[in-house]
């Protein structure tokens, strides 16, 4: 069980920021996925390559960091350490 990253229904005014925050949080769940309902706006990380956070870093870069964090934590989620 885990969250649908970026939400599955509805739209948000700050969709890029919401997705970036969800992606960072999702790194700490054993299961999470970027999932969206049919007919709604796209929300894959590359969709936000032109949107910037405070004019310095793209939301795609923030989401990339979250995904890398998730993969670095997999060994802790799925082992008996």
Summarize pLDDT for 23-43 with one digit per residue, the tens: 999 888 888 888 888 888 888
Range of the domain at 41: 4-77
- The percentage of the chain sitting over the pLDDT mark of 70, rounded to a whole number, equals 96
Note the pTM of the prediction, 2 decimals: 0.81
Mean pLDDT over each residue of the chain, to the nearest integer: 86
Whether pLDDT at 59 is above 70: yes
Measured CA to CA, the distance from residue 20 to residue 59 in angstroms comes to: 6
What is the number of domains present in the chain? 1
The torsion defined by the Cα of 64, 30, 71 and 20, in degrees rounded to 10, comes to 10
């Amino acid at each position: 069980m885990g969250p649908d990253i970026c939400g599955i229904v509805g739209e948000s005014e700050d969709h890029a920021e919401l997705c970036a925050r969800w992606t960072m949080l999702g790194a700490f769940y054993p299961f999470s996925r970027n999932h969206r309902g049919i007919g709604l706006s796209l929300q894959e990380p590359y969709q936000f390559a032109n949107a910037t956070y405070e004019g310095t870093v793209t939301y795609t870069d923030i989401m990339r960091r979250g995904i890398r964090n998730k993969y670095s934590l997999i060994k802790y989620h799925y082992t008996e350490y």
